[in-house]
Amino acid sequence: MNTETIKKEENKTAKTERITGCEAIIRCLIAEGVDILYGYPGGAIMPVYDELYKYQDRIHHVLTRHEQGAAHAAQGYARISGKVGVAMATSGPGATNLITGIADAQIDSTPIVCITGQVPSHLLGTDAFQETDIVGISTPVTKWNAQVTKASEIPEVMAKAFYIAKSGRPGPVLVDITKDAQFEEFDFKYEKCTAVRSYNPIPKTDINTVKAAADLINNAEKPMIVWGQGVILGEAEEELKAVVEKSGVPAAWTILGASALPTSHPLNIGMVGMHGNYAPNKLTNECDVLIAIGMRFDDRVTGDLNTYAKQAKIIHFDIDPAEINKNVKVDIAVLGDSKESLGLLLSELNANSHESWLQEFKDLYAIEYDAVIKDDLLPEKEGLTMGEVLKEINTYSNGDAAIVSDVGQHQMIACRYAEFNKTKSNITSGGLGTMGFALPAAIGAKMAEPHREVVAIIGDGGYQMNIQELGTIFQQKVAVKIVVLNNEFLGMVRQWQQLFFDKRYASTEMTNPDFVTIAKGYHIEAKRVTKREELADAVKEMIESKSSYFLEVCVEKEDNVFPMIPSGASVSDIRLS
């Protein structure tokens, strides 16, 4: 009898126990290994919180200052740990405040389970106080959701929620539980979910597609890999590295794929996308075979689809059949788990090198260095640049820090210049582009991996969207490092206004508060840097601090992020200025 069969037999013979629905919720969380829960109490979820009070030694509840913060903190926890993050809120506005984080998790394939309270079942549909149809609202942005109206439904629904959130291509799940179901008693027995009818989370890899892909790669003269977050979600980093090194194929990454292969790897050719590196963007339209691994051909990566890699044979490795031919028509699709499919590919590949092709990437990098990178990292101008801040963080963190970035210019700079030696080190809002993501996500990341250095890189605009989470950092004593790159603008919007709207800076200039005083008000050590000669010592002090630390760096107000592919343009039209 195998281990799985033994577990099933144990579950079948497990004794039932008569408990309330709210206790069942907590017992389900414990059975799923949940150790940290982010949330905010309210009337419709209060019975669960009352029960949670009795289990403080088993589950650590983190009171965020806003439900959106709870959802993002659960995302940060999930992204760095690989586990399912959990958030909880009350009905009505509590539930709707989770939606932005849920939508962000959906498009970035982040496994979270959100639990919401709901009005008693006899009041459903009556417009009762703090009632809202959160199941209907969340349906477009969840992998699965369910409403529970009877206590007896709780174990099965919760088990299914965790299984669906984590299996296959991960995503967010929402479970809405009426207040009467929380109070109702029933005979509790918990059995983990291992399958759902008609749900096939991991398609079987067809070895013939792997062989066909290998044949194309083995015979290519100018092959290029673009990998995404699917490599990280599939824990296929070693397989990717082995494939790259054996085949000698230059490999580029999407922003969510960053850190799967160390930044310093000689075949790591940089980032693709709107503000990615010059060489991989430009040469996308010159390669003869394009191997996409765990990425979804997002518009920010492809630019104009009518001109994207038309000369190339395209191979797409992905776990989700819905992504195949969705945006880009491919020649070979290899479905399956990335760890398995890349392992199969490795055995079919010939050892190879593509030195002359790799040299083309190096030559274009030299052009980008002279035109852009040198001015970002070693500026001669008086004002500080965002790039040199990242350079100092690399110096003092040795490339081992997890970088949690918000959305905007600073995000692109962080993705371009942060050095990553470890996987799961680049945590950012990719598909949804959620300003306000970084501060609460950094809290979740640091609590999941307390021994890792976690540095949040945030713009002055996004910082103020969830600045209240400084209270969570203070109360929980989370030793996260916060860097605000302050240019007194909504920088990315301002850049577009400068380049495409004749410098009409409509509603993008910020009049900001004293960020240092605010941080100190939350008893967080804080410093402001305005001069280049102050920067290195301030970053060193921040990294060496054993507690939370806030660093504001006042940077050039009207610096732009280049290279840049104008919206809707071809990747070949990437601009250096």
- Point out the catalytic residue in the list 166, 179, 424, 446: 179
For residue 488, give both structure tokens. 């007194």
CB atoms within 10 A of CB 474: 15
**Amino acid residing at 455:** V
**CA 455 – CA 198 distance, rounded (Å):** 42
> Do the beta carbons of residue 432 and residue 409 sit within 8 Å?
no
> Do the beta carbons of residue 176 and residue 118 sit within 8 Å?
yes
- Point out the catalytic residue in the list 51, 67, 388, 552: 67
**CA 331 – CA 338 distance, rounded (Å):** 18
- Point out the catalytic residue in the list 7, 17, 54, 129: 129
In the residue annotation, 182 being an active-site residue is answered as: no
CB atoms within 10 A of CB 4: 9
**Amino acid residing at 132:** T
**CA 437 – CA 417 distance, rounded (Å):** 20
Which residue do the tokens 């967080």 mark? 524
Sign of the torsion angle spanned by Cα atoms 109, 107, 481, 388? positive
In the residue annotation, 179 being an active-site residue is answered as: yes
Contacts of 440 (CB under 8 A, 6+ apart): 64, 68, 69, 70, 71, 72, 73, 76, 466, 469, 472
Helix (H) or strand (E) holding 486: strand 481-486
In the residue annotation, 492 being an active-site residue is answered as: yes
**Where would I find the beta strands (DSSP E) of 30-181?**
36-39, 60-63, 85-89, 112-118, 144-148, 172-178
Cβ burial, residue 6 (10 Å; 0-12/13-18/19+): exposed
Helix (H) or strand (E) holding 334: strand 332-335
**Amino acid residing at 120:** P
DSSP-derived secondary structure letter, 488: S
**CA 236 – CA 380 distance, rounded (Å):** 42
Angstrom CA distances, 267 to 7, 23, 145, 284, 332, stand at: 44, 52, 42, 15, 23
Cis peptide before 563 (omega within 30 of 0): yes
In the residue annotation, 129 being an active-site residue is answered as: yes
C-alpha of 252 from chain center: 18
Helix (H, G, I), strand (E, B) or coil at 444: helix
**CA 575 – CA 63 distance, rounded (Å):** 45
In the residue annotation, 224 being an active-site residue is answered as: no
- Point out the catalytic residue in the list 386, 435, 465, 492: 492
Torsion of CA 39, 41, 47, 50, to 10 degrees: 80
Q: Are strands 17-20 and 185-188 parallel, antiparallel or unpaired?
A: antiparallel
> Do the beta carbons of residue 470 and residue 502 sit within 8 Å?
no
**CA 161 – CA 355 distance, rounded (Å):** 48
Sign of the torsion angle spanned by Cα atoms 333, 432, 490, 77? negative
C-alpha of 436 from chain center: 13
> Do the beta carbons of residue 235 and residue 295 sit within 8 Å?
no
**Active-site residue numbers?**
67, 129-130, 179, 492
